[in-house]
């Protein structure tokens, strides 16, 4: 149950972060939104890592092993790419397209890997997983003519990046506190800064300071997901976390008046049923 609650918290935080970032990406260049948000995520991850270091601050040298740094940096590759693509999709495409598409791949690939590695969730949990994937698909609202090419393309690319992050960060060994996430966030911040510089994106940190808040939500989500993987199975945690588009769609409907379609409403219902099944499993 602890893993489920942490994963639900991660889903809520990711959904809030996506919504907030999407709104800002419509007014500012998505790369600047991603960079400022990532800087906020990095600060939060570093603070939590310092607080949770086994043995106190004196244990940092022994905790930051080559394996922890390696897993963290590899996760950063997927996180940086996925975040940048999602920001672009949220800014240029429909908010209810890019987010859900990224979640379908972000959930599906870790599930396949977890099953391949021998994870065997309970029967009800497997039912919940089976229901959750089409639920996310329905939440995407794929009616004819409702999806922009940009939203689809960027959503798929973001999903691949997030799948890499979900899979890799879960492989980081126990006993290192939150340092795998902190290393990942530092690597992601550096990669995003390099991308902003290479693209010569118009904007500035000062002009995009509002992205600190969705960045903080995203950093919190990454930490909650990481701790959830320490408590439960990758197949379950990744799927529950990937239900975050439901939060994005609900917020978009409430504040941007993007009315969900009938298919999306069915998807939201299936998402709720999936969580109940997984909890009972």
CA 97, 98, 104, 107 torsion: positive or negative? negative
Alpha-carbon span 115 to 110, nearest angstrom: 9
Where would I find the H helices in the chain? 2-25, 30-51, 60-63, 66-92, 95-116, 123-139, 149-171, 179-199, 212-231, 234-241, 244-255, 262-280
Contact 245, 107 (CB under 8 A): no
Q: What is the pLDDT of residues 200-222, one digit of tens each?
A: 888 888 889 999 999 999 999 99
Torsion of CA 139, 18, 279, 276, to 10 degrees: -30
When mean pLDDT is compared across 24-33, 36-45, 136-145, 157-166, the lowest value belongs to 136-145
Residue 151 is predicted with a pLDDT of 67
Q: What is the pLDDT of residues 144-162, one digit of tens each?
A: 444 455 567 777 888 889 8
Residue 145 is predicted with a pLDDT of 46
Query: Looking at the predicted structure, is the pLDDT value of residue 9 above 50?
Result: yes
Query: Looking at the predicted structure, is the pLDDT value of residue 138 above 70?
Result: yes
Q: Rounded to two decimals, what is the model's pTM? A: 0.87
Where would I find the H helices in 117-148? 123-139
Residue 278 is predicted with a pLDDT of 83
Q: How many CA atoms lie within 13 A of 86 on its CB side?
A: 35
- Section 112-136 average pLDDT: 85
Highest mean pLDDT among 11-20, 53-62, 173-182: 11-20
């Amino acid at each position: 149950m602890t893993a489920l609650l942490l994963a639900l918290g991660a889903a809520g935080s990711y959904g809030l972060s996506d919504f907030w970032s999407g709104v800002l990406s419509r007014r500012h260049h998505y790369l600047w939104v991603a960079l400022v948000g990532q800087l906020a995520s990095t600060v939060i991850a570093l603070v939590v890592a310092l607080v949770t270091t086994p043995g106190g601050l004196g244990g940092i040298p022994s905790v930051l092993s080559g394996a922890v740094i390696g897993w963290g940096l590899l996760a950063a590759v997927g996180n940086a790419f996925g975040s940048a693509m999602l920001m672009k999709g949220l800014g240029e495409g429909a908010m209810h397209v890019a987010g859900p598409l990224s979640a379908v791949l972000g959930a599906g690939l870790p599930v396949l890997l977890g099953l391949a590695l021998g994870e065997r969730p309970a029967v009800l949990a497997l039912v919940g997983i089976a229901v959750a994937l089409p639920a996310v698909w329905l939440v995407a609202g794929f009616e004819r003519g409702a999806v922009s090419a940009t939203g689809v393309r960027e959503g798929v690319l973001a999903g691949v990046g997030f799948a890499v992050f979900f899979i890799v960060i879960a492989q980081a060994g126990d006993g290192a506190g939150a340092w795998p996430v902190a290393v990942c966030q530092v690597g992601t911040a550096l990669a995003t800064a390099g991308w902003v510089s290479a693209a010569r994106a118009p904007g500035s940190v000062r002009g995009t300071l509002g992205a600190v808040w969705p960045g903080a939500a995203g950093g919190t989500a990454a930490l909650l997901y990481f701790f959830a993987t320490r408590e439960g199975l990758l197949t379950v945690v990744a799927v529950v976390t990937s239900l975050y588009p439901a939060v994005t769609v609900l917020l978009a409907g409430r504040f941007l008046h993007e009315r969900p379609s009938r298919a999306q409403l069915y998807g939201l219902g299936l998402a709720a049923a999936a969580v109940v099944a997984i909890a009972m499993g």
